[in-house]
């Protein structure tokens, strides 16, 4: 929030009206290939030095947005400006400046760390690509990076498989930090870790942010994790941003009927990637489908929303500001905003 006379805070990430589709597989031999609308008209803002949490059930489109920011998929429509680069304008390989400025950490560091490299080689590689350092300077920088993520020189000659899950994620974070990024996309960075290790890693990310002013796009399915790790939160459902705003307001006093349901339903919708392949449950909400078909243009939550009206099938609502901060995309906004506010519990901004 800015006060009069101050310059508005700078956004390190701006996503505007983003649409991303995938060609789906054929359901039946005789049917045509379906189109999966993974992201429909999403807009996001992330201020420098802050964390935006992106939360929602499995398949809601969180990873698809993260990958678009990283230029790992191509939007059908919309704009993405990350660290000053118009990502959606790139044709071919992104410029080196962008590759330095925007980094990523994924859920499974074993997948992103070369198994045949020792930690010191893993960390030296980005330094070699992006900076003109001699061998001695590079060694010093590698030690500095390890220290920054709470590891020691004892880990220099380890291979990824010799490390614990938490230590591997620390190495993945150090590798991302090696090039001095402005923005790090963290896609389920703690989902594979034990709860006690999860908070260590979140605290580490927090310390790094404080020291270096880095911004995070923090993707997670776990509401408690997102709440703890984020300044702002955006809630997704079937490709749409349903609600967004300050983490303490969204998590402590959710306004959108979907968000309320998500928070009531609670704790932990399990991401698809962590479920047994057979019988993946797509939705973890208690409210049953009510026999209303969602329309492509309409609100996707119409199938289970207790407040739906005929209007909800006609289009997707323009977001309405919430007095306590942020906004909701709901045709029933005037009704839901009249209900009493629920008291908030502490989040990242309150600490
Ligand atoms: N490469 C792809 N090809 C086809 N469909 C895809 C592809 N990637 C994602 N999808 C589909 O797009 C939708 C959004 O997927 P996405 O992985 O972004 O969800 P998510 O919110 O990250 O879910 P999770 O919590 O399980 O990680 C899903 O319906 C998914 O099946
Ligand atoms: Mg995902």
Residue-wise pLDDT tens digits, 2-37 = 444 566 669 999 999 999 999 876 556 665 668 899
Q: Report which protein residue has its CA nearest ligand 1's atom 24.
A: 58
Mutate to test the pocket of ligand 1, among 20, 62, 225, 282 (most ligand atoms within 8 A of CB): 62
Please say whether the beta carbons of 184 and 105 come within 8 A: yes
Arithmetic mean of pLDDT, 213-233: 95
Q: Report which protein residue has its CA nearest ligand 1's atom 31.
A: 59
Lowest average pLDDT, out of 17-26, 115-124, 158-167, 279-288, goes to 279-288
pLDDT of residue 160: 96
pLDDT at 303 over 90: no
259 is a domain residue: yes
152 is a domain residue: no
Domain range spanning residue 61?
10-25+35-83+184-191+213-351
pLDDT of residue 320: 97
**CA separation for the pair 34, 200 (Å, rounded):** 42
pLDDT at 73 over 90: yes
Q: Is 300 in the pocket of ligand 1 (CB under 6 A)?
A: no
**CA separation for the pair 90, 74 (Å, rounded):** 10
202 is a domain residue: no
Q: How far is the CA of 5 from the centre of ligand 2 (A)?
A: 40
233 is a domain residue: yes
pLDDT of residue 68: 98
Q: What percent of the chain has pLDDT over 70?
A: 83
Arithmetic mean of pLDDT, 305-323: 92
Tokens of 145: 């990076």
131 is a domain residue: no
115 is a domain residue: no
Q: Which of 107-111, 147-151, 312-316, 347-351 has the highest mean pLDDT?
A: 147-151
Query: Structure pTM?
Result: 0.89
Q: Is 19 in the pocket of ligand 1 (CB under 6 A)?
A: no
- Confidence bin at 340 (pLDDT 50/70/90): low
For the chain, how many structural domains are there in total? Answer: 1
Residues in the chain: 351
Please say whether the beta carbons of 156 and 146 come within 8 A: yes
* Rounded (to 5) percent helix, strand, coil in the chain: 35, 20, 45
Q: Is 51 in the pocket of ligand 1 (CB under 6 A)?
A: no
139 is a domain residue: no
241: CATH: 3.40.50.300
Q: Is 60 in the pocket of ligand 1 (CB under 6 A)?
A: yes
156 is a domain residue: no
């Amino acid at each position: 929030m800015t006060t009069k006379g101050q310059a508005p805070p700078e956004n390190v990430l701006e996503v505007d009206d983003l649409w991303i589709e995938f060609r789906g597989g054929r359901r039946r031999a005789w049917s045509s290939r379906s189109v999966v609308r993974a992201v429909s008209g999403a807009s996001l803002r992330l201020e420098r030095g802050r964390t935006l949490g992106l939360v929602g059930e499995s398949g809601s489109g969180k990873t698809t947005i993260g990958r678009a920011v990283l230029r790992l998929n191509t939007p059908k429509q919309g704009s993405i400006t990350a660290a000053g680069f118009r990502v959606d304008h790139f044709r071919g390989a992104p410029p080196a400046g962008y590759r330095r400025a925007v980094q990523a950490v994924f859920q499974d560091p074993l997948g992103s760390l070369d198994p045949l490299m020792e930690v010191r080689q893993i960390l030296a590689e980005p330094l070699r690509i992006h900076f003109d350092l001699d061998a001695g300077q590079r060694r010093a920088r590698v030690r500095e990076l390890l220290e920054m993520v709470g590891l020691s020189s004892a880990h220099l000659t380890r291979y990824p498989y010799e490390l614990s899950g938490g230590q591997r994620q620390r190495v993945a974070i150090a590798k991302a930090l090696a090039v001095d990024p402005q923005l790090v996309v963290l896609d389920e960075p703690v989902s594979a870790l034990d709860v006690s290790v999860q908070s260590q890693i979140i605290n580490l990310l927090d310390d790094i942010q404080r020291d270096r002013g880095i911004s995070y796009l923090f993707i997670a399915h776990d509401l408690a994790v997102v709440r703890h790790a984020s300044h702002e939160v955006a809630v997704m459902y079937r490709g749409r941003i349903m609600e967004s705003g300050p983490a303490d307001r969204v998590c402590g006093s959710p306004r959108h009927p979907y968000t309320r349901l998500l928070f009531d339903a609670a704790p932990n919708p399990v991401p698809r990637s962590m479920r047994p392949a057979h019988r993946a449950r797509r939705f973890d909400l208690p409210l049953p489908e009510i026999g209303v078909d969602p329309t492509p243009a309409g609100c996707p939550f119409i199938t289970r929303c207790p407040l739906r009206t005929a209007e909800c099938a006609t289009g997707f609502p323009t977001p309405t500001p919430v007095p306590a901060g942020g906004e909701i995309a709901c045709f029933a906004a005037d009704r839901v905003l009249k209900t009493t506010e629920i008291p908030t519990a502490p989040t990242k901004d309150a600490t």
